Each structure stands twice: as C-alpha cells, then as structure tokens.
C-alpha cells in the first residue's frame, strides 16, 4: 500500500526509536553480563584464597598432632591394657583412680587443657579412643570442665587430677549417656541405653591454638571489591 511522505517519516522515526531502544537494552545486558563475570571472577578468587588458607590450617593442625603424638604415644598406649569387661551392676557411682599422678597444675572448672582417652563399655568394647594406627589423634580440647561439651562423668571425674597424669574413670549411666545411650551420625547405636562406661584419660597442657581461616573476613573483602566497581 502506498504511503505519504509524512507517513514514511513517521514510520522511520518509530523504526529508529525501536532500534535505539533495542540497542540500549542490549548494551545494558552486555554490561550486566560483564559485571556478573567480574563478580564471579572475584568470588572464585575469594574461594581459592579460602581453600588455600584452609589447606594451610589443616597442615598445621596435622603437624601439631603428629608432634604431640611423638611425645605422648609411647606413654599413653600402655594404658590400653586397662580395657576389659566389667559387670554393669559394679558401677553404681562415679569412681576415680589415678594410674599415674601428673606433675602439673590441678585441673579445676576453669583449667584449659587437652586430653587423650580410651572409652569402653561393660562388654569391653572400645567405642572411642585417641589411638589410631599406632599414633595419637588430635587431643580433645577442654576449655574448662564447667563449660566443656563433655559428659558429667568427665566434668566431675577429672576435677582434681594433675596435668600430665592419667586417671581411670568408672562412670554410671546417669553421668554418661543415660537412658538414650548414644548413636553415630548414621543412627547406629554405639553406646547402649543405661550403659555404664569406663575411660582412661591423660591430661596434657593445652597446645598452641591454631586459628582456622575466617571466611567472613574474605567475603567482606569480596563485597568491598563489588561496591568499588
């Protein structure tokens, strides 16, 4: 259909406006994609730095554990001979016995120390211990008996022993895991309900604290980089 000059001019204006609008949207999209790529690159950099710091942290922790194992393993492993069956009814109250008296500070509610241990039930089955493949695992940190996440039998039974010492704990069920017992992460029962327990515990000086990497600090740096763009 034929059109007048004014109509053609109007159509041209509309076409030009449409093209410019499309180009503008495309430009915004391109800039957004570039920004996202930069953001992704920045995030990958932060993640890479975190993994690097995490690896260094784990290596330091392992080196510390190996050094402590070399120092204490030969002394502690002999107490594996304490593991044996016992009568459930023979443990009615908390009983402690110092197998070796330490020469360090007395352990109280606020003492910061670490512990190697062997724990077993009335069947003589070891459910947890610090010994693994002829060496000692990282010792359990105890930042004060009163606030530590340990059973009451430990909180009460370790009080008064000396650092460097080894103590045998006979713990009734109500000061251990009680009527529920204890299950592993997969739901398997590893300590039976109403089961008394025994532990050999060696208290050692708290090792130097190795600080794990702070992901929050790295993410804050990432966010600052994004705001600066």
Q: How does pLDDT run across 107-141, given as a tens digit for each residue?
A: 999 999 999 999 999 999 999 999 999 999 999 99
Flag whether pLDDT at 16 surpasses 90: no
pLDDT value for 223:
66
Residue 132: inside a domain: yes
Question: What's the pLDDT band for 32 if we cut at 50, 70, 90?
Answer: low
Total count of domains within the chain: 1
219 lies in some domain = no
Instruction: Give φ, ψ of 168 to 5 degrees.
Output: -95, 125
Residue 88 predicted with pLDDT over 50: yes
- Is 89 part of a structural domain of the chain? yes
Structure tokens at 157: 């039974």
Report residue 152: phi and psi, to 5°.
Answer: -60, -30
The domain that holds 159 is classified in CATH as: 3.10.50.40
Q: Identify the domain containing residue 129 by its residue range.
A: 73-205
Predicted confidence at residue 215, as pLDDT, reads 74
Q: How confident is the model at residue 50 (pLDDT cuts 50, 70, 90)?
A: confident
Q: What is the mean pLDDT of residues 26-44?
A: 64
Residue 227: the pLDDT is 63
For residue 218, name the pLDDT band (cuts at 50, 70, 90).
Answer: low
Query: For residue 228, what pLDDT is reported?
Result: 61
Residue 115 lies in a domain: yes
Domain-located, residue 28: no
Dihedral angle of Cα 23, 24, 26, 30, to the nearest 10 degrees = 130
Question: Residue 5 falls within a domain, yes or no?
Answer: no
How much is the mean pLDDT over the chain?
85
Contact 210, 64 (CB under 8 A): yes
At residue 6 the predicted structure's pLDDT band, cuts being 50, 70 and 90, is very low
Judged on CB neighbours under 10 Å (0-12, 13-18, 19+), 115 is buried
How much of the chain, in percent, has pLDDT values that exceed 70?
79
Q: Which residue has the higher pLDDT, 44 or 104?
A: 104
Is 184 part of a structural domain of the chain?
A: yes
Question: For the residues 142-152, what does the mean pLDDT come to?
Answer: 94
């Amino acid at each position: 259909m034929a059109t007048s000059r004014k109509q053609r001019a109007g159509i041209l204006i509309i076409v030009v406006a449409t093209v410019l609008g499309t180009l503008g949207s495309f430009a915004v999209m391109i800039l957004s994609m570039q920004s996202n790529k930069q953001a992704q690159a920045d995030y990958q950099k932060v993640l890479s730095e975190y993994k690097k710091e995490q690896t260094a942290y784990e290596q330091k922790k392992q080196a510390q554990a190996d050094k402590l194992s070399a120092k204490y393993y030969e002394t502690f492993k002999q107490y594996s001979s304490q593991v044996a069956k016992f009568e459930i009814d023979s443990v009615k109250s908390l009983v402690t016995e110092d197998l070796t008296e330490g020469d360090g500070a007395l352990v109280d509610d606020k003492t910061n120390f670490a512990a190697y241990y062997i724990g077993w039930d009335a069947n003589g089955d070891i459910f947890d211990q610090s010994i693994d493949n002829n060496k000692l695992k990282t010792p359990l940190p105890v930042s004060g008996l009163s606030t530590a996440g340990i059973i009451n039998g430990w909180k009460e039974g370790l009080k008064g022993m000396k650092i460097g010492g080894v103590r045998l704990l006979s713990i009734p069920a109500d000061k251990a895991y009680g009527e529920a017992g204890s299950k592993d992460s997969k739901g398997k029962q590893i300590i039976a309900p109403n089961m008394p327990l025994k532990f050999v515990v060696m208290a050692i000086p708290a090792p130097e604290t190795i600080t794990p990497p702070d992901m929050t600090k790295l993410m804050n740096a990432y966010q600052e980089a994004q705001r600066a763009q």
